[in-house]
Amino acid sequence: MNIKKIGVLTSGGDAPGMNAAIRAVVRTAIFNNIETVGIMRGYNGLINGDIKNLTLRDVSDIIHRGGTTLFTARCLEFKTEEGLNKVVKNCKDYNIDALVVIGGDGTFRGARDLSARGITCVGIPATIDNDIGCSDYTIGFDTALNTAMEMIDKLRDTAQSHDRCTVVEVMGRRAGYIALETGIACGATFIIVPEIPDIDIDNNIIKKIKEIQKTGKKHFIIVVGEGYKKTNELAEYVQAQTNLETRVAVLGHVQRGGSPSVKDRVTATHMGNYAVNLLINKTSQVNQTQNKSYVVIVKNGEVTSIPIEDAFNKQKEFDYNLYNIASQVSL
């Protein structure tokens, strides 16, 4: 099959670098004489036909912008048979030969359902949480880390001035990668991640604070991944057990915004370009009845791809080695 028109959408949580990926998809497609359409607000746009042509100039001046110019949304109707049928019909009506879907795990599950209904899809992993098992890296993670790091550095100034303990909650959903890396980068005394939910607070945190206090340290930073879910209780307990004035700071959605870092712009550009070339090369190898969909991934530093059916088999392993290093140097 010769691809003539590609649809591109962003779905699920936004992540800095999504615009760079959209731009790379559109420019690579046009470079190869393929038309592109932008689908607005994730799978919603495919259900209600909110679809517009994208030209070279439509993706000018977006590489440096956070968020997504195609907007994003969650779409419950898409998960129904009726919703999926509308999507398939609209893809036919708009002559869309293949889709590039930029988002997280949920977005890829949707693409897998579409693929089963004959629509070729390529997924590009974009989420600040870096929680997609099949890819070492997801677009947005680096920017979010740097944003969180800057904010925790600022919180350290005030914690230090007041001899306080600041408990900082960072994002990451059920994954602790943002907590782990920002905790290390900011010299946190403790890092609490959802992967280790039953951490013994008394024997780890309280005991360690008391020992460190004997060395003259008077202020502490504890970084907590939001998936731990007990940030406030933890802070109250630390204050009660140590007499340290303890404050909670929840960084929240600020971590999802902002201008993407170099790493996120370059990775997004590489992945967007790869996705379109994959569509051109793979779809020319199979006949029209053999629909194949893929997810673009980073593996051992290389941008590559795997079939979409294999994208859900693997839980990302938490880096316990890095976690142990962090605890050895936070004294």
Residues forming the site for ligand ADP (CB under 6 A): 11-13, 42-43, 74-75, 78-79, 103-107, 109-110, 113, 127
Helices (H), 104-195: 105-116, 141-162, 177-185
Distance in Å, CB of 258 to ligand ADP, minimum: 18
The span from the CA of 82 to the CA of 43, in Å, is: 13
The span from the CA of 27 to the CA of 54, in Å, is: 10
93 tagged catalytic: no
The span from the CA of 39 to the CA of 4, in Å, is: 16
Distance in Å, CB of 129 to ligand ADP, minimum: 8
Distance in Å, CB of 274 to ligand ADP, minimum: 19
CB nearer ligand ADP, residue 80 or residue 158:
80
Catalytic residue among 14, 97, 129, 264: 129
How many residues belong to the chain? 331
> Which DSSP category does 306 fall into?
E
CB nearer ligand ADP, residue 232 or residue 252:
252
243: which 2 tokens?
């007499």
The span from the CA of 212 to the CA of 218, in Å, is: 9
Distance in Å, CB of 308 to ligand ADP, minimum: 12
Dihedral pair phi/psi, residue 50, rounded to 5°: -85, 80
CB nearer ligand ADP, residue 155 or residue 295:
295
CB nearer ligand ADP, residue 27 or residue 256:
256
Q: Which residues are known to be catalytic?
A: 129
